[in-house]
Amino acid sequence: MKIIETKDYADMSRKAANIIAAQIITKPECVLGLATGSSPIGTYDNLVAMYENGDLDFSEITTVNLDEYKGLTRDNDQSYYYFMHEHLFDRVNIDSERTNVPNGMEADAEKECKRYEEFIKSLGGVDLQLLGLGHNGHIGFNEPAPVFEKETHCVNLTESTIEANKRFFASADDVPRQAYTMGIGTIMRAKKILLVASGEDKADIVAKAFFGEVTPDVPASILQMHPDVTVVADAAALSKIPR
């Protein structure tokens, strides 16, 4: 695992965007795994700026998103479909036919999860997977659990995740209770992983996930076993790692 310390959120966002840009430049037809949350927004802004400067071409890439709330329509401004269009897809020359987010409106969880998992396999896997990190160590929506869930599945969100994400909704009652997410196996099969983390409130979980025991209680801890992970995090988020 490579850890790149940055000054602050802006510096983290620039460095993460540069890593993604290098992937797109060296393999224009690559498959990018994408994430939502506040952590990658600056990364997307930097990618958009590179596109606007004529430095980056998204026309051949395919994207697969990590997760989606179950039961939110695409036009709901809290759906991850909406988020991705707002922060990236509608701002660059990506082929929208080649952007993929789990279908939160498919009521049959088993059917949707199987479809999404097989679809990712049919693409030949993910070249570079971007991740954020939840305060309880979740990646995608893989919540702390007794075992690592391997494939795309439907999760019941934990109270702490509902609490953390309620800031985006009118109230905690409006936060969906379930989501579809790539599994830990789906994520671990990505050839490269790039995780972004920022802020003091992530310091405890960053230390625990990357320097603690590998356990499904801290889902991100499994990344210690992946051969090609880069963590780009600011000084505040790295303030509690052992030196």
Residue closest to 185 by CA, chosen among 138, 234, 149: 149
Q: How far is the CB of 197 from ligand GLP (least distance, A)?
A: 8
Q: How far is the CB of 57 from ligand GLP (least distance, A)?
A: 26
- CA within 13 Å, CB half, 213: 3
Active-site residue 29, yes or no?
no
Q: What is the dihedral of CA 132, 94, 188, 67, to 10 degrees?
A: 60
Residue closest to 232 by CA, chosen among 207, 187, 195, 188: 195
User: Which residue, chain included where needed, has tokens 């979980």?
Assistant: 205
Residues that bind ligand GLP (CB under 6 A): 35-39, 66-67, 132-134, 140-141, 161, 165
Q: How far is the CB of 132 from ligand GLP (least distance, A)?
A: 2
Q: What is the Cα–Cα distance from 217 to 174, expressed in whole angstroms?
A: 26
- Tell me whether residue 57 or residue 177 sits nearer to ligand GLP (CB atom): 177
- Tell me whether residue 42 or residue 61 sits nearer to ligand GLP (CB atom): 42
Residue nearest to ligand GLP (CB): 132
Identify whether the C-beta of residue 134 lies closer than 8 Å to the C-beta of residue 161: yes
Length of the chain: 243
- Tell me whether residue 79 or residue 165 sits nearer to ligand GLP (CB atom): 165
End-to-end CA distance of the chain: 15
Pick the catalytic residue: 68, 112, 143, 149? Answer: 143
- Tell me whether residue 35 or residue 101 sits nearer to ligand GLP (CB atom): 35
Q: How far is the CB of 230 from ligand GLP (least distance, A)?
A: 16
Question: What one-letter code names the amino acid at 112?
Answer: E
- Tell me whether residue 124 or residue 135 sits nearer to ligand GLP (CB atom): 135
Active-site residue 138, yes or no?
yes
Pick the catalytic residue: 46, 136, 142, 165? Answer: 136
Active-site residue 67, yes or no?
yes
SS3 labels along 123-181 = CCCCCEEEECCCCCCCECCECCCCCCCCCCEEEECCHHHHHHHHHHCCCHHHCCCEEEE
Q: How far is the CB of 228 from ligand GLP (least distance, A)?
A: 19
Q: Which residues are catalytic?
A: 67, 136, 138, 143
